Amino acid sequence: MNNYTKNQTIIQSGEPFVCFYIIADGTVTAAHESSETTETFELKKGDVIGIFDFGSKEHSFSYTAASNVTAIPYSLTNFTHLPSLFSKEKELGHFLTASMAQCVLRVLGYYQNLTVQQAKLFQYLTMASDHYQKIGAHLGLAVKSLANKEKLQSFSSQQEEPAFWTEQYYKSVKHSLTNKNPLFFSPSFVTGFLARGVEDIHNILYCSETVAQYLSDIGHLLLNDASLDLFDLYTDLIFRAKSAKKDSSALEDYIKKMISVLQSPVYSDQELAQKRIQEYEYELKRDHSYESSASEENLADIEKKLTGSAELILDYAETISDHRREFLEYLQLYKNMEDKNSTEKEADGIRRKLTKLFNTVYTETFQIALNDPTPPTVVMMFLHFGYMDLELAGLENAAYLYSIAKNYQGDSENGIYTLYEWIQKIYKGEKQPSRNELSQDYINYIQTLKSQSKIDAETFDKMQDDTTQKVMYELENMFPVVNKVTNGHFTTFCPIFIQENVVKDLESTLITPYKIKETLNKILSIDFSAFHRSYLFVDEKLGIRENVVIDVKPDFILMPNVGSNGICWQEIEGMHRNTPGRMMLSAFHAENLERSMIGMIGDFRWELCRRIQGMRWNDVTEHSLTSEYYDYAMFFNKNRALTQDARDKIKLALARAKNNYKNLFVMDYCNWILYEARGAVKLNKVTRQIFSMYIPFTAKICEEVSTNGAFTEVMQHYNLKKKQHMHHLRKIVQKCLSQGKPVPEPLENHMKLIDQ
């Protein structure tokens, strides 16, 4: 007999399966971690600890005493030993069969409950989203678009669901056990039944994780930590209704019902839900009737200045009459649309045409502004934020844009630029244009024109150094694509600033150099080598040939839109590996900036490694981050180091990543930085081994996480490699000093960069 006190761990997931226990007294919690949730099942007297992985090489469940527990241990290292174990203990087969039948039914019940909950939540979100549009129209207030609304699709299973007969079969077995049927004492039957039960349990859990992932995805539409959710849309609407002195009683009643939905742990993070509910209730008690971002007098003054903004911008751009008339016509059609984010064919046609015209006007405006030391404020609002029309932007939003447009700037010393500043840098010849959608840089592009006889050799020579042409290339190639991608509304995109896209307070979402630097430093305090590049340093006199690294931080360019996406547009400039990459963000970024930047850096790491490795980026014989990760992702089903449970999780993660290995890598990178750096196990041991070698933590974090057994071995391996490398470098330093010669600066910098 083994005794365990309450909360004591009996078996930890990942441990080898060497024995099982029958509970003689007390209750035990069996926990199974998935990518989104931890499923728990209660085991009672007579149940078997270890039943969920019976006969497997290792446990995928953790078992913890929920009370004081007494359990009888049985050694079992091989499934084929079961018959001999049954011959010694006649009742053992009965206990195992009963426990297995009961546990399959519990897991099946969990799956069935998830299925019911996802259907309910989808129905609720669909109804609440439609109701929001209707109540906003009824109150005469502008409605805003729900971020990531495209995720609101009915559930579609990615794999075969549990067979319809599963529940009845195991219920029948459970019922038959009470009759002491001799069949349930047959070693061959019990062994087969247990093997089938384990297979069914893990198939059901696999299906459950897909449903749980879907629940999490659409649950984030209801409530998320970035406040880009339905609850925020409703609470924002009620506060605007109160400010406008409109009857909001019905809206308040609806929000009370929404709060009851939020308080279900199935649908939302309860700690976050409680915090958001308290914030709402506090704000509700305040008097919103007098609130305004500017005094009424200032607003009236700004309204006069911004009336007819589109005409003012078109006048400045010297837009020719035909284009001007067409632009204003489509702008009016857009303004007349009741739902600016409608997915109807007609609405889509208007947006597409207006986007094309907008991009033309934007380019024309820039051509004038580049030689104008003091463009009008309304023009700067257009260039910085895509502002075009007072009515579309909303007066208070327009007033805020007006107040910051003249002084909005980046920090060129730290590689942070507004798009306006970036284009100026290209115009002055200080920066080169970005690659286009086909990954062509400017020189490759004009070489293509020359090879196609579209330009002659003389024109080619002129265009190489023509900064005006380079500006046009940037505005006609990078700008339209990146502006759409960073905005994030792929199906309803229009580059014009509209109040419907302002899902959070503008001031809180404005991206400033300080925010970027602060967030970047936080990430680099974990992944210190994110922007390291290696090159061969040669000093023939000292006899040194050594690969050393330099740190080249990327340029950040702020696009003129309200958006939710950050992207790494290119990892280097042209063909030069020591040039900074380019990362793009919306000027108003509504998503969590840290998460967005982590994703961008993960993307950057992948692309830079591919660039350095060239044709052999996925050749596992050439050790690199991409080759080893690609090999892992491609052949995970054959990897003996991975349990079946781990393989199932990879399969689900790949489906989420749309079977794209880079997307899968970026997802794992986010978990590495956000969770594993805190010692929280989110990755499997194979991924952790790859990441610890190529994306090491700082020495301080390595020491902290090493106390967790899951990290100990990989951190020891990394530290050993690091010590060996530092020892090698110190020998080179000693050699230089012994010859009375200074240590080369590249070598000194290299040692400082890697020894963190």
Instruction: Give every residue of the chain whose pLDDT is below 50, as ranges.
Output: 288-294
For residue 513, the tally of other CB atoms under 10 A from its CB is 19
Exposed / middle / buried, residue 88 (Cβ in 10 Å: 0-12, 13-18, 19+): exposed
Cα–Cα dist 233/502, whole Å: 10
Select from 361, 277, 248 the least CA-distant residue to 311: 361
| Distance separating alpha carbons of residues 411 and 513, to the nearest angstrom | 6
SS3 560: strand
For residue 211, give both structure tokens. 């449903």
Other beta carbons less than 10 A from residue 656's beta carbon: 15
Please answer whether residues 303 and 393 qualify as being in contact, where contact means their C-beta atoms are separated by less than 8 angstroms: no
How is residue 752 written in tokens? 């400082």
Among 657, 583, 582, 571, residue whose Cα is nearest residue 609: 571
Q: State the sign of the Cα–Cα–Cα–Cα dihedral 685, 710, 692, 554.
A: positive
Residue type, 102: Q
- Nearest Cα residue to 690 out of 664, 659, 729: 664
Give the global pTM: 0.83
Distance separating the N- and C-terminal Cα atoms of the chain: 50
In the chain, the amino acid numbered 558 is: L
Percent helix, strand and coil across the chain, each to the nearest 5? 60, 10, 30
Q: Interior CA angle at 370 toward 364 and 371, to 5°?
A: 110
Alpha-carbon gap, residue 226 to 149, rounded angstroms: 15
Among candidates 216, 255, 217, 257, which has minimal Cα distance to 233?
255
Helix H or strand E encompassing 622: none
CA-angle at 301, arms to 236 and 378, nearest 5°:
80
pLDDT tens-digit map of 578-598: 899 999 999 999 999 999 999
Give Cα separations from 314 to 336, 421, 471, 703 (angstroms): 20, 21, 20, 60
What's the per-residue H, E or C state across 204-267? HHHHHHHHHHHHHHHHHHHCCCCCCCHHHHHHHHHHHHHHCCCCCHHHHHHHHHHHHHHCCCCC
Token pair for 684: 């499997």
Give CA–CA dist 360/380, Å, rounded: 16
**Cα 362 to Cα 170: distance, rounded to the nearest angstrom:** 67
CB 599 within 8 A of CB 661: no
pLDDT reported for residue 667: 95
Nearest to 427 by CA among 379, 375, 473: 473
Distance (Å, whole) CA 33 – CA 710: 15
401/559 Cα distance (integer angstroms): 14
Contacts 24+ apart (CB under 8 A), 515-522: 515/593, 516/414, 516/416, 516/556, 516/585, 516/593, 516/597, 517/411, 517/414, 517/416, 519/593, 519/594, 519/597, 520/553, 520/597, 522/594
Which H or E element spans position 660? Answer: none
CA distances from residue 240 to 224, 248, 284, 553 in whole angstroms, order as listed: 21, 10, 11, 42
pLDDT of residue 576: 79
| Angle 284-289-292 from CA coordinates, rounded to 5° | 105
Strand order across the 2-4 sheet: 2-4, 69-75, 19-25, 48-49
One-letter amino acid at 722 equals K
Beta-bridge mates of residue 568: 583
State whether residue 740 is helix, strand or coil. Answer: coil
Q: List the one residue out of 16, 37, 15, 40 whose CA is nearest residue 28.
A: 40
Query: Residue 291: what pLDDT?
Result: 46
CA dihedral 584, 586, 591, 593 (to 10 degrees): 50
Per-chain mean pLDDT for the chain: 90
Per-residue pLDDT at 292: 43
Could you give the 3-state DSSP secondary structure of residue 507?
helix
